Amino acid sequence: MAHESEKVIIVEGLTDKKQINKVITDDVTIICTNGTLGVERFDELLETYHLDYKDVFIFVDEDRSGWKLRKQLARELPHAEHIYVSSEYREVATTPEHILAAALLNKRIAVNPMFLL
């Protein structure tokens, strides 16, 4: 049986996932939504990743599509915690690694200390 992480970060795209993977050292599952979620796709994610029973973090871009997705996920996963990227950077993928590391560490997600300098 494969090991399942107790922490899940939901992001919009693959570039967001890659940027976060660069800085974290914690055992975290990162799910890409590729934009908005339909009911069937969300139900599939809920079941596959057992989202009702995990520490879920929503980390999406500070733009119209990100706000829409954040609102939808907040409604469906009221226990999820939100991680925000500064509107100065707008996108998770373009946020400097040290800023991402600080935001993730603030939510109790272990990061490589070299990104905190």
Domains of the chain listed by start with CATH number: 7-112 (3.40.1360.10)
Amino acid at 34: N
Average pLDDT over residues 87-98: 95
Percent of the chain with pLDDT over 70: 97
In order, the DSSP letters of 18-45 are HHHHHHB-S-EEEEE--SS--HHHHHHH
Q: Distance between CA 33 and CA 54 in Å, rounded?
A: 17
Does residue 57 register a pLDDT over 50?
Answer: yes
Q: How high is the pLDDT of residue 5?
A: 83
Band of the pLDDT at 2, cuts 50, 70, 90?
low
Output Rg (C-alpha) for the chain, integer angstroms: 13
Q: For 14-41, what is the mean pLDDT? A: 93
Contact in structure between 42 and 76 (CB atoms under 8 Å): yes
The mean pLDDT of 83-98, rounded to a whole number, is: 95
The confidence score (pLDDT) of residue 1 equals 44
Task: Return the sign of the alpha-carbon dihedral for residues 2, 7, 12, 14.
Answer: negative
- Amino acid at position 48, single letter: T
